[in-house]
Amino acid sequence: MTETPESPGVETAVDKQFVAGVQGALDATFNARANGPLDDVEHQLRVELEQAGVAEGLSDDRVRAMAEHIAAGEPVVAEPDEQAP
């Protein structure tokens, strides 16, 4: 009898819901504020992260770096190493 292989990523410790929440916040912020003033972008990103329930899982430096990319018009992808605390 052959075993069905597990889906890719099943064995990882990545919190997929957390990463999805971060990505949703990044996408919403990019759509609303891309190419905007950095302070506005960072504020919007923090609001979106809070609404997604993932704000506490990211350092201030990481949020600022993400906001800098969005303010420059560069989309940001949540990395699998974005981990909830």
Identify the pLDDT of residue 8. 55
In a domain, 79, yes or no: no
DSSP letters, the chain, are -PPPPPPTTTTS---HHHHHHHHHHHHHHHHHHTTS-HHHHHHHHHHHHHHHT-GGGS-HHHHHHHHHHHHTT------TT----
Structure tokens given for 7: 């889906």
Domain of residue 62: give its range: 16-71
Identify the pLDDT of residue 5. 60
In a domain, 47, yes or no: yes
The structural domain count of the chain equals: 1
pLDDT in tens, 17-74: 999 999 999 999 999 999 999 999 999 999 999 999 999 999 999 999 999 999 999 9
**pTM value surpassing 0.85:** no
